[in-house]
Amino acid sequence: MNGGSASERVFLVTGAASGIGAATVELLAEVGVVYAVDRDQGIAEAFKNRNNIRPMAFDVTDESAAQALFETIGNEFECIDGLVTCAGICRTASLAETTAAVFDETLAVNLWGTFLMIREALPLLQRSQQPAVVAVSSELGIVGQPNLSAYCASKAAIIGLIRGLSVELAPKVRCNVVAPGPIDTAMLQSFQAERGEGVAEAGLGLPLRRVGQPVEVAQVIKFLLMPASSFVTGAVHVVDGGLTSQ
């Protein structure tokens, strides 16, 4: 059995098949072993033949699958040094059109999935010398936007969850939130297409006058998992091109 030494740190990233999750996997693979999980069955192909990356198809809402996942990791490694919960979905609908099924699915993936992964990872995290959790929320967990009430609620709840856990799990496990703004991902592309606009237009109203790239968020996530951020916990790190400063 191996285990999270400085030379071989162990990470797990959910929502790893694309966007911010995939960019985070690539950066963390430079410094350790990364379990890259996603419900997209194409996850194995996305990271094929990468020695430091272990891709797995996985549903973050499945409690029994989560328990099996961490048992598998524990059989190979002594601990997990960093957990990134990046899996998320977004459904556009007005309040009147938001059904119970849409609301429940959004909170199941975004909020319950985050909670479940942290809960099941905790025994392995506590065996690490410097464990850290980063949950990906959104600027829409801080400010509102029409027709995204379920999404906004789920992302705001992630912030509350992590603030609570940062106190509960201290001093051993650091927990932080990253809240991205408009980032050039498949989710933003789909949202903009529904509005009849391109991705670039989502950045025109920001102080930096552009959308962000997934790697720009991944760099912040990586920092929060590293010893360099050892005095940072319970914080919300907004990566939004200045959107929430206006």
Cite the active site residues: 151
Question: What is the DSSP-derived secondary structure letter of residue 58?
Answer: -
The bridge status of strand 32-38 relative to strand 174-180 is unpaired
Phi, psi of 37 (to 5 degrees): -120, 145
Instruction: Supply 46's token pair.
Output: 């996305």
CA dist 156 and 101 (Å) reads 19
CA dist 156 and 144 (Å) reads 10
CA dist 221 and 30 (Å) reads 14
Overall size of the chain counted in residues: 246
The residues, ordered by sequence, that sit 6+ positions from 34 with a Cβ below 8 Å of its Cβ are 10, 11, 12, 13, 16, 25, 28, 52, 53, 54
Residue 68 amino acid letter: A
Instruction: Supply 246's token pair.
Output: 């206006």
What is the distance between the terminal CA atoms of the chain, rounded to a whole angstrom?
51
Q: How many CB atoms lie within 10 A of CB 169?
A: 20
